[in-house]
Amino acid sequence: MIGTGTTARARRPRPASQSLAMLLLALIVGLGGCDGGAPAVPALNWYVFDEPSGAFAEAARRCAEQSDGAYRVVLQPLPADADRQREQLVRRLAAGDSAIDLIGMDVIWTPELAAAGWILPWPQDLAQRARAGRIQATVDSASWEDRLWAAPFTTNTQLLWYRTDRVTTPPATWDAMIRQAEALGADGSIQAQGARYEGLTVLFVSLLASAGGSVLNADGSEPALPEEPTRRALAVMRRLARSPATPPGLAGAREDQARLAFEAGGAAFMVNYTYVWPSARANAPAVARHMHWARWPAVAPGRPSRVAIGGINLGVGAYTEHPELALRAAACIAGAEHQRLAARRGGLPPTTAALYDDPAVRETFPFADLLRATLQDAVQRPRTPLYNDVSLAINRTLHPMANIDPERDAARLREAVARALHSRGLL
Amino acid sequence: MKPADPTEERLGWLLCSPAVLAMLVVTAYPILYAVWLSLFRYDLRFPQERAFVGLANYAGVLTSPVWWESLANTAVITLGSVSLELVLGMGLALVMHRVLFLRRSVRAAVLVPYAVITVVAALAWKFAFDPVTGFVNPWLGVEHAWLTERWSAFVVIILTEVWKTTPFMALLLLAGLTLVPQDLLDAARVDGANAVQRFFRVTLPLMTNTLLVALLFRTLDAFRIFDTVYVQTRGAQGTETVSIVGYHALVTRLNLGLGSAVSVLIFACVVAIAVLFVRGFGASFSAQESGEDGQ
B149: closest chain A residue by CA: A251
A116: closest chain B residue by CA: B45
Tell me the pLDDT tens digit for each residue of B183-226.
998 999 999 889 889 888 888 888 888 899 999 999 999 999 99
Task: State the pLDDT at residue A1.
Answer: 35
Is B46 within 8 Å of chain A by CB? yes
Q: How far is CA B21 from the centre of its chain?
A: 26
- Residues in chain A closer than 8 A to B149 (CB atoms): 251
Contact A425 B64 (CB under 8 A): yes
Query: Where in chain B does DSSP place strands (E)?
Result: 40-41, 51-52
Q: Are residues A396 and A323 in the same domain?
A: no
- Residues in chain A closer than 8 A to B71 (CB atoms): none
Tell me the pLDDT tens digit for each residue of A198-251.
999 999 999 999 999 999 999 999 999 999 999 999 999 999 999 999 988 898
Contact B236 A249 (CB under 8 A): no
Q: Are residues A138 and A204 in the same domain?
A: no
Confidence of residue B4 (pLDDT cuts 50, 70, 90): low
Contact A83 B63 (CB under 8 A): no
Q: Are residues A100 and A54 in the same domain?
A: yes
pLDDT mean across residues, chain A: 90
Q: Are residues A294 and A245 in the same domain?
A: yes
Q: Quick check: bond before A400 cis, omega within 30?
A: yes
Would you say residue A414 lies in a domain? yes
Contact A426 B45 (CB under 8 A): no
Task: State the pLDDT at residue A12.
Answer: 42
- Using CB atoms, which residue from A94, A252, A400 is nearest to B44? A94
Tell me the pLDDT tens digit for each residue of A88-99.
999 899 999 999
Tell me the pLDDT tens digit for each residue of A386-414.
999 999 999 999 989 999 999 999 999 99
> What mean pLDDT comes out for the span B13-20?
93
Contact A251 B249 (CB under 8 A): no
Rg (CA), chain A: 25
Task: State the pLDDT at residue B49.
Answer: 87
For residue B19, the distance in angstroms to the closest alpha carbon of chain A comes to: 25
Contact A251 B254 (CB under 8 A): no
The structural domains of chain B, ordered by start, are: 71-251 (1.10.3720.10)
- Say yes or no to pLDDT of A27 above 70: no
Task: State the pLDDT at residue A266.
Answer: 86
CA atoms within 13 A on the CB side of B143: 4
Task: State the pLDDT at residue A18.
Answer: 55
> What mean pLDDT comes out for the span A408-423?
93
> What mean pLDDT comes out for the span A135-150?
96
Task: State the pLDDT at residue A355.
Answer: 97
Is B248 within 8 Å of chain A by CB? yes
- Residues in chain B closer than 8 A to A402 (CB atoms): none
Q: How many domains does chain A have?
A: 2
> What mean pLDDT comes out for the span A256-275?
93
Angle between helices B65-98 and B150-179 in degrees, nearest 10 = 40
Q: Are residues A138 and A92 in the same domain?
A: yes
Tell me the pLDDT tens digit for each residue of A144-163.
999 999 999 999 999 999 99
Q: Are residues A221 and A278 in the same domain?
A: yes
Task: State the pLDDT at residue B179.
Answer: 87
Any idea what DSSP says for residue A349?
P
- Say yes or no to pLDDT of A14 above 50: no
- Say yes or no to pLDDT of A22 above 70: no
- Residues in chain B closer than 8 A to A251 (CB atoms): 145, 148-149, 236-237
- Residues in chain B closer than 8 A to A389 (CB atoms): 253
Would you say residue A6 lies in a domain? no
- Say yes or no to pLDDT of A7 above 50: no
Contact A427 B145 (CB under 8 A): no
Contact A195 B64 (CB under 8 A): no
- Say yes or no to pLDDT of A37 above 80: no
Beta-bridge mates of residue B255: B43
Whichever domain contains A148, its CATH number is 3.40.190.10
> What mean pLDDT comes out for the span B77-89?
95
- Say yes or no to pLDDT of A33 above 70: no
A248: closest chain B residue by CA: B145
Tell me the pLDDT tens digit for each residue of B260-289.
999 999 999 999 999 998 887 776 655 344
- Residues in chain A closer than 8 A to B260 (CB atoms): none
Q: Are residues A58 and A151 in the same domain?
A: yes
- Residues in chain B closer than 8 A to A399 (CB atoms): 236
What amino acid is encoded at A379 in this protein? V
Q: Are residues A213 and A276 in the same domain?
A: yes
* Inter-residue long-range contacts of A406-413, CB under 8 Å, 24+ positions, other chains counted: A406/A230, A406/A231, A406/A234, A406/A235, A406/A238, A407/A231, A409/A234, A410/A225, A410/A227, A410/A230, A410/A231, A410/A234, A413/A223, A413/A225, A413/A230, A413/A234
Q: What is the ipTM of this complex?
A: 0.74
Would you say residue A71 lies in a domain? yes
Contacts of A383 (CB under 8 A, 6+ apart): A110, A111, A144, A216, A220
Contact A94 B255 (CB under 8 A): no
Q: Are residues A226 and A363 in the same domain?
A: no
Distance CA A138, CA A309 (A): 8
Would you say residue A254 lies in a domain? yes
Task: State the pLDDT at residue B48.
Answer: 86
> What mean pLDDT comes out for the span B78-87?
95
Q: Are residues A314 and A297 in the same domain?
A: no
Would you say residue A403 lies in a domain? yes
For residue B251, the distance in angstroms to the closest alpha carbon of chain A comes to: 7
Would you say residue A38 lies in a domain? no
B251: closest chain A residue by CA: A87
For residue B277, the distance in angstroms to the closest alpha carbon of chain A comes to: 30
Would you say residue A20 lies in a domain? no
Beta-bridge mates of residue B120: none
For residue B155, the distance in angstroms to the closest alpha carbon of chain A comes to: 16
Tell me the pLDDT tens digit for each residue of B31-42.
999 999 999 999
Beta-bridge mates of residue A250: none
Would you say residue A298 lies in a domain? yes
The H or E element spanning position B208 is: helix B208-223
For residue B264, the distance in angstroms to the closest alpha carbon of chain A comes to: 15
Can you give the residue range of the structural domain that contains A198?
158-307+386-421
Query: What percent of chain A has a predicted confidence (pLDDT) above 90?
Result: 82
What amino acid is encoded at B286 in this protein? S
* Residue in A119, A386, A394, A423 to test binding to B, most B beta-carbons within 10 Å: A423
Q: Are residues A54 and A114 in the same domain?
A: yes
Q: Are residues A339 and A197 in the same domain?
A: no
- Say yes or no to pLDDT of A252 above 60: yes
